[in-house]
Structure 1
Amino acid sequence: MEELEVKSEEERETIPIKIGIIGEANLDRPIYLAERMEYAVCTPFGKPSDVIIDGQIEGVNVSLLSRNGRNHDIMPSNINYRANVWAMRKMGCTHILVTNTYSSLRENFQPGHLVVPHDVIDNTTRRAQTFYDGAVGSPLGVCHVPMNPAFCERTRQHLLSAAKELEFPTRYSGTVLTLEGPHYSTVAENNMFRKWGADLLSMTLCPEATLAKEAGILYASLGLVTNMECWCAQQPNATTHEIFYIFKKQSENLQKVLTTAIKTIAAEDWAEDILKAKILVCSNFANNK
């Protein structure tokens, strides 16, 4: 298996930007891609959730992947997060922008709000958390990658600027706790999560964020608040069909923010950020061989 490669100063000047997008089912339908191609990518960790859809948006090279499969037939705990992120790396992505649905634990995060979170709490228990697990075919050694900050701040700012330019109601920060799922949480769990400092709940943000950092990829999330959690007695519990409906209704806005951010990201020089992301992995890698 190939190791992370740190390029020289001369090579860094020519690093091409390529943006991976991981999101909900049917992610590719609202987005027009020029030079569209589909790839079945193999990884040391198995198959990704679906084919990788490669192409261009406004002249920028992108790769799209439906996290739960295009038919939304993979439950959150069974998503092969390692294969998904590794496939994006294999396709040459320097950035990953992801879309997520969030349920709210706070009054100031209302359904319909876009959110660009700044921190995570991983409350999952069944998911592979690292590429460096000692298994046959995995990279040798152990990687103790730091998770502060949880997201690439510069990439976050591009998402925030795009949402502000388009005048969509957006929360500029938030802490997301990832549940194992697929069931929702109880009122007692809601109250516990609120005391922990969580603002939102997700079933898919972790360990994706950690794996992107281990892969040396600049990663940020654009989320949509679809419902209030059950702690909020003023609103009835939302059904899964209602959540899907709200996401579908707002998906065009999500795509507009992503498209705008992709253009502004591609207009800048990211050589130093890409190098730092790779050095972060190498400097926290333990292997005596």
Structure 2
Amino acid sequence: MPELPEVETSRRGIAPFLEQQNIAEVIVRDHRLRWPVNPDLPQILAEQRVHQIRRRAKYLLFDCDSGTLLIHLGMSGRLRVLDASQPLQPDKHDHVDIVFENGYRLRYTDPRRFGAVIWTHEPVELHPLLSHLGPEPLEADFDADYLLDKASKRQVAIKTFIMNAEIVVGVGNIYASEALFMAGIHPKMITAQLKRNQAFKLVEAIKAVLGKAIAAGGTTLRDFRDSEGNPGYFAQELQVYNRAGLGCRQCGHPIELFRQANRATYFCPACQGL
């Protein structure tokens, strides 16, 4: 599933071609995404201008004249910018095309159809999919004081806690394991036990891991590709995730794996002791 770094990579890939451009045509081939695509979307978006493309959590927000288009990539979604003048026949998983007056076409592809293409004319921050979300992990308001305050009120495992989008967005399973390793914190540690110095290390680790992943174009473990069809290369830098039985890059102890909240959790028992 594309996580925050993969979505941010997609945003950076498409924004230079589509921002400050007018929409000429919208083609919806299959309305059956996670939530049905509004049948009036082609008429709604016709001749509107995309002023800016932002990211909130794992949603891409296209700020238009009279509202916002939200795109979520789901489990297998992908966005590509194509030359609209070139004859490129869509395949069965190419569900939505947005054609721009500058000659580019944004194509949304989603084999599993778990993604979403949603229009709203209300303030996007109030949309039910966004209104409950916690802060962005790379912004200044996500700091040690914030994390410590939230953690002190909970009695859950720290890995489950930082993966909760109401606490902080975008820390998916891979990045949670990597950040906890970098901070030297065991994934089973109870949140109320978190100390100030640990909170500081964890916040810094989350920011560092996500920043490196974005710089590397995301992490490809299955089928993620960016807007140009390139895989993400952060997988080559993973310290613990998907390395069960291999020696820790830091101390040499074998990396261990266990199931936590139905997710695979990797850690080094020597570097992350309880």
TM score, norm. by length of structure 2: 0.29
* Higher Rg of the two aligned structures: 2
TM score, norm. by length of structure 1: 0.28
